[in-house]
Amino acid sequence: MPLTRWLAEYAWLPDRAEPTRDVLIEATDGRLTAVTPLTVDGPPTAGVEVLGDAVRLPGLTVPGLANAHSHAFHRALRGRTHDGRGDFWSWRSLMYAIATRLDPDTYLALARAVYAEMALAGITCVGEFHYLHHGPGGTPYDDPNAMSAALVEAAAHAGVRLTLLDTAYLTGGVDGAPLTGPQRRFGDGDALRWAARVDAFRPADEHVRLGAAIHSVRAVPAEQLATVAGWADRNGLPLHVHLSEQPAENDACRAVHGCTPTRLLADHGVLGPHTTAVHATHPTAADVALLGDSRTRVCVCPTTERDLADGVGPVRRMADAGSPLSLGSDSHAVVDLFEEARALEMDERLRTRRRGHFTPVELLTAATVGGHAALGWGDAGRLAVGQRADLVTVRLDSARTAGVPPVGAFFAATAADVTSVVVDGRPVVDGGRHLTVDVPTELRDSIAAVTAKEDS
């Protein structure tokens, strides 16, 4: 790949409290080779005017955003579940109804559109928490990893990187109840058979990496937690787990095991720097200390957590205790990492009735470096030499951002303000349009294919 150069009107460079004006960014073979500010304490230098071969990036350019927690098929629920009463558990039955209708072909079409929607929002890497493994009734496809392969292909078409977090989902409750109904599609029988299936899937594509996930303490028996965690550790892969998303999960774990889910995970060797706890909405003070002391990462999904009435977790306390933060769009009620980022601050204000908990740099870090690290891409998330050439440019002249200083973009911009996205040096979005996918049309058609019977 030849040398490519971009001239960013503003770029948010590492270790800077606010964006820098007039930055020349150069890349070869998908890696940043030079990041050079051209303005120092004054107007642009004359050099800015003669960079005729550089692609202009008007607005604010930030590193690629990382969506650390996705369930792609949940996107089909948007607009179909928001007007009813109930809670997480009643919503879950609607989610299962979508899961029953998917096969490798329809999932490929849906995920391709969803990942392309993410690209339009500035997301260059996604972590897919993938547990929809088998056919109806739990019968494996001829290729037991056909659904995984569909997700890998979908990400390639959309132009984003993927960490496929293959998820162990073995039981229907903390008490070990068997999987029933649509849940049977998720299960492999036990952790050893889960590991054997995942071992057989080794995609060679450069845009994908594997990871592992424990769905929750509800879905993996205590005596099998170490098997999943050990598989991830031996392979040097990230491990994710839904944790304390609901008070009912905590109560059930205490009733069966006499401890919180966090304590159970700690006792079975699950916590650590390569593990990401997703949600962590209802931890105790002791849980916060366990997560922080072990440097376990925490992925927060604010738009989903409020959509499902989950609650607001003690995110600032978890960060202060030592847990690096990342962000996810989870059920995709909203696909907007700017919204997820500022919700860290806004939700903390609601919880504490005080302002000023997270700096703009901390929000940027959670949306970029934090997410990439949680997904096993330690070479992405910063505009620095040697990093992957992922560039996301946000316009500063929209109705939302006009008059806003660049440092305030995370409190003003939305996904609709993204104009340009480059992934590994390759343009994916230009002028606010995806270069290869007609996103609205493909979303409409792929969702119709799995909801037509329901809506008729």
Q: What is the pLDDT of residue 84?
A: 64
Q: What is the pLDDT of residues 197-251, one digit of tens each?
A: 999 999 999 999 999 999 999 999 999 999 999 999 999 999 999 999 999 999 9
What the block records as the tokens of 328 is 């996810």
Among 22, 188, 310, 330, the one annotated catalytic:
330
Amino acid letter, residue 435: L
Amino acid letter, residue 276: T
Amino acid letter, residue 418: V
Angle at the Cα of 187 (from 181 to 191), degrees rounded to 5?
A: 150
Mean pLDDT (the chain) is 94
The DSSP call for residue 330 is: B
3 state DSSP class of 358: coil
Among 279, 282, 332, 372, the one annotated catalytic:
279
For 331-343, give the DSSP string.
Answer: T-S---HHHHHHH
Given the structure tokens 């003669």, which residue do they identify?
50
Bridge partners (DSSP) listed for residue 63: 391
Q: What's the rounded mean pLDDT across residues 316-337? A: 97
CB 220 within 8 A of CB 228: yes
- Of 334, 372, 17, 46, the C-alpha closest to 343 is 334
Q: What is the pLDDT of residue 456?
A: 42
Amino acid letter, residue 439: V
What gap in Å lies between CA 92 and CA 80, rounded to an integer? 13
372 is catalytic: no
257 is catalytic: no
CB 388 within 8 A of CB 424: yes
What gap in Å lies between CA 133 and CA 390, rounded to an integer? 31
pTM (two decimals): 0.95
Which helix H or strand E contains 289, and what residues bound it? helix 285-293
